[in-house]
């Protein structure tokens, strides 16, 4: 498995929080932690921007995708809006999460809670080749439940 080095900065006041980390040896995503100063409550149907306390400098040619945690979605109905979110290689601000509560009870965000995961991936650039007709496939234009 390929390894890359990525610079990471703790935002001042968040030295007590762990850096993003893989929770198992084969995990694709690193857990991100809530950097709230005090507990934040998200009412059912509500959403809040939750800081992570970190900023990164991804190498050019890479992105970080921010994804929900399945356990929070299943057990509390809590997920992320704009998922997956993209952290571009030229972004240097604090990574924040847009957390939404689709559950039936208020959700309390505590400092250090694992709220999301971050997957770093290579990207490629597209060069469009305009054409008047696309090649034929068995599926064709069928979509939205077609298969």
CATH code of the domain in which 55 resides: 2.70.40.10
The answer to whether 64 and 86 are in contact (CB under 8 A) is yes
In a domain, residue 135? The reply is no
In a domain, residue 142? The reply is no
The answer for residues whose C-beta is within 8 angstroms of residue 102's C-beta and 6 or more apart is: 44, 45, 77, 78, 79
In a domain, residue 104? The reply is yes
The answer to whether 22 and 30 are in contact (CB under 8 A) is yes
Return the bridge partners of 50, or none.
97
Q: What is the pTM of this model?
A: 0.90
Domain count, the chain: 1
Give residue 117's domain range.
7-122
In a domain, residue 16? The reply is yes
Distances (CA, A) of 20 to 113, 134, 143: 12, 43, 37
In a domain, residue 26? The reply is yes
In a domain, residue 134? The reply is no
pLDDT in tens, 51-84: 999 999 999 999 999 999 999 999 999 999 999 9
Strand, coil or helix: 62: strand
Neighbours of 24 (CB within 10 A): 6
In a domain, residue 83? The reply is yes
pLDDT in tens, 89-134: 999 999 999 999 999 999 999 999 999 999 999 999 999 999 999 9
In a domain, residue 2? The reply is no
């Amino acid at each position: 498995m390929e390894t890359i080095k990525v610079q990471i900065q703790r935002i001042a006041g968040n030295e007590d929080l762990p850096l993003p980390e893989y929770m198992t040896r084969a995990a694709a995503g690193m857990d991100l932690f809530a950097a709230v100063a005090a507990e934040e409550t998200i009412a059912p149907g509500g959403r809040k921007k939750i800081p992570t306390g970190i900023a990164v400098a991804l190498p050019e040619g890479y992105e970080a995708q921010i994804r929900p945690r399945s356990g929070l979605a299943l057990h509390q109905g809590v997920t992320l809006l704009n998922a997956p979110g993209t952290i571009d290689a030229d972004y240097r601000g604090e990574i924040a999460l847009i957390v939404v509560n689709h559950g039936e009870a208020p959700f309390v965000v505590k400092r250090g809670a694992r709220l999301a995961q971050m997957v770093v991936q290579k990207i490629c650039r597209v060069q469009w080749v305009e054409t008047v007709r696309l090649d034929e496939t068995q599926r064709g234009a069928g979509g939205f439940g077609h298969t």
